[in-house]
């Protein structure tokens, strides 16, 4: 395509230069569009206390209902939420101690305040029921149903001596890069 | 009781956050484009919740909200249209 310079009241315009600048702008717009976050929410569940975990699952179910793609990354004490039992076989002394002192599954989780050897947690669960709030386990089931991605941190599993068979099915093993892959594309990132 | 036309009703009485929105999400999936869902809730927070839901949802429009009294219990009605 041949282009000729255009004379305007403000002077002569170099069409070639103009086209070059236009394509440069188009390229920058494309780069910008690619770096825009998606409709995604990424949560790190670090805590293993009922109240904090509940907050995470209320946000997760709510975000999923709002049509967001949600991923939850469970690490350290947060792994207790995903447990479905405990095994001691083949574990070292410290690992065994950790296993025995950690919650057996989500129904065992303490509250972060006023736990009083589990009485506080039981009370909170009853109060939630009385107020028409879904239980943690119901919310977890809803999350699964709505396709919330749950990732279990491999490194903390290794450190704490948690074996695959102690955790529920359907989890994706993951590391920091896997989480960052999700979080960098997300609009909202929370550490709970 | 209301002037807004609706096709389906979802009863979420007694349910608390985030259940009304979660249930509504599921229900609206069953509706055809253009249809209106009426949601009945006893959760006071649901007023703002459904405003937020309609704002974020790409194919949803909040046609109206009402508060009615039913035997001393406040009911919150939300009318949401599936636009596409």
**Looking at beta carbons, which residues of chain A come within 8 Å of B37?**
none
Query: What are residue B79's phi and psi, to 5 degrees?
Result: -115, 115
Residues A121-151 pLDDT 10s:
999 999 999 999 999 999 999 999 999 999 9
Cα(A39)–Cα(A186) distance, integer angstroms: 7
**Residue contact B25–A66, C-beta within 8 A:** yes
**CA nearest to A145 within chain B:** B26
Residues A155-174 pLDDT 10s:
999 999 999 999 998 888 88
A contact set with B (CB within 8 A): 58, 61-62, 64-68, 131-134, 142, 146
| pLDDT greater than 80 at residue A12 | no
- The β-bridge partners of B78 are B39, B65
Residues of B designated catalytic: 17
Residues A176-189 pLDDT 10s:
888 888 898 899 99
**Looking at beta carbons, which residues of chain B come within 8 Å of A142?**
22
Cα(A37)–Cα(B56) distance, integer angstroms: 15
Which residues, including other chains, have CB under 8 Å from residue B19's CB and lie 6 or more apart?
A132, A133, A134, B12
> Domain A37-191 belongs to what topology?
Hypothetical Protein Ychn; Chain: A, (3.40.1260)
**How much is the pLDDT for A3?**
60
**How much is the pLDDT for A4?**
67
Residues A89-128 pLDDT 10s:
999 999 999 999 999 999 999 999 999 999 999 999 999 9
ipTM of this model?
Answer: 0.75
A152: left (phi over 0), alpha (psi -120 to 50) or beta: beta
- Domains plus CATH for chain B? 8-82 (3.30.110.40)
**B25 reaches A (C-beta below 8 A):** yes
**B16 reaches A (C-beta below 8 A):** yes
**Looking at beta carbons, which residues of chain B come within 8 Å of A65?**
18, 21-22, 24-25, 53
> Which one is predicted more confidently, A10 or A1?
A10
| pLDDT greater than 70 at residue A81 | yes
Cα(A167)–Cα(A42) distance, integer angstroms: 21
**Residue contact B56–A66, C-beta within 8 A:** yes
State which residues of chain B have pLDDT below 70.
1-2
Distances (CA, A) of A138 to A31, A133, A146, B53: 42, 10, 12, 21
**How much is the pLDDT for A170?**
85
Burial class (CB in 10 A: 0-12, 13-18, 19+), A22: exposed
Q: What is the pLDDT confidence band of residue A49, given thresholds at 50, 70 and 90?
A: very high
Q: Is the peptide bond before B18 cis (omega within 30 degrees of 0)?
A: yes
Chain A interface disruption, residue of B12, B14, B19, most A CBs within 10 A: B19
Query: What value does the mean pLDDT take over residues A73-94?
Result: 93
Q: Residue A57 in contact with residue A134, Cβ under 8 Å? A: no
In this complex, which of B14, B43, B57 lies closest to A67 when CB atoms are compared? B57
Quote the mean pLDDT of chain A: 91
Cα(A54)–Cα(B6) distance, integer angstroms: 34
The domain ranges of chain A are 1-36, 37-191
Q: Residue B82 in contact with residue B35, Cβ under 8 Å? A: yes
Residues A62-75 pLDDT 10s:
999 998 999 999 99
**How much is the pLDDT for B1?**
53
């Amino acid at each position: 395509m041949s282009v000729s310079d255009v004379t305007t009241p403000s002077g002569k315009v170099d069409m070639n230069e103009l086209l070059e600048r236009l394509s440069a702008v188009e390229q920058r717009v494309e780069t910008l569009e690619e770096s825009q976050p998606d409709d995604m929410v990424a949560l790190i569940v670090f805590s293993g206390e009922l109240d904090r975990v509940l907050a995470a699952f209320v946000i997760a179910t709510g975000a999923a209902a709002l049509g967001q793609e949600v991923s939850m990354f469970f690490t350290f004490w947060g792994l207790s939420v995903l447990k479905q039992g405990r095994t001691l076989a083949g574990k070292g002394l410290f690992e065994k101690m950790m296993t025995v002192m950690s919650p057996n599954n989500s129904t065992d989780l303490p509250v972060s305040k006023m736990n009083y050897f589990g009485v506080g947690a039981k009370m909170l669960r009853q109060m939630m029921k009385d107020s028409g709030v879904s239980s943690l386990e119901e919310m977890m089931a809803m999350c699964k149903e709505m396709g919330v991605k749950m990732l279990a941190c491999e490194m903390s599993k290794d450190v704490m001596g948690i074996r695959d068979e102690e955790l529920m099915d359907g989890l994706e093993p993951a590391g920091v890069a896997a989480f960052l892959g999700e979080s960098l594309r997300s609009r909202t990132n929370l550490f709970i | 009781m209301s002037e807004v036309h609706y096709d389906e009703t979802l009863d979420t009485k007694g349910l608390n956050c985030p259940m009304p929105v979660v249930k509504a999400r599921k229900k609206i999936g069953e509706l055809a484009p253009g249809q209106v869902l009426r949601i009945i809730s006893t959760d006071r927070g649901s007023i703002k919740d459904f405003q937020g839901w309609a704002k974020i949802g790409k194919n949803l429009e909040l046609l109206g909200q009402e508060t009615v009294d039913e035997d001393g219990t406040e009911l919150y009605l939300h009318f949401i249209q599936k636009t596409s």
